[in-house]
Amino acid sequence: MHSVLIAAAEEAAAHTNELPFSPVVFGVGAFVGLTAMLLFTFAFRSVGTRH
């Protein structure tokens, strides 16, 4: 029983979790998302002064 658990642990340690995309894709996605939120916020910059 112990040898099975040890073998499973060694196999799990050797097989690390890999990202589904390249790290560059995550960086570009974050940059695009944050830029979109910035532009959305910038579009409503003068709403308070209209009334």
**C-beta of residue 8 within 8 angstroms of C-beta of residue 1:** no
Rounded CA separation 40/32 (Å)? 12
The three-point CA angle 16-19-24 to 5° equals: 135
Task: Give the start-to-end residue ranges of the domains of the chain.
Answer: 1-45
Residue 15's pLDDT is 64
Separation CA 22–CA 50 (nearest Å): 45
Q: What is the pLDDT of residues 1-51, one digit of tens each?
A: 778 878 777 776 666 678 888 999 999 999 999 999 999 999 988 887 776
Amino acid in the structure at residue 34: L
C-alpha–C-alpha distance, residues 44 and 50, integer Å: 11
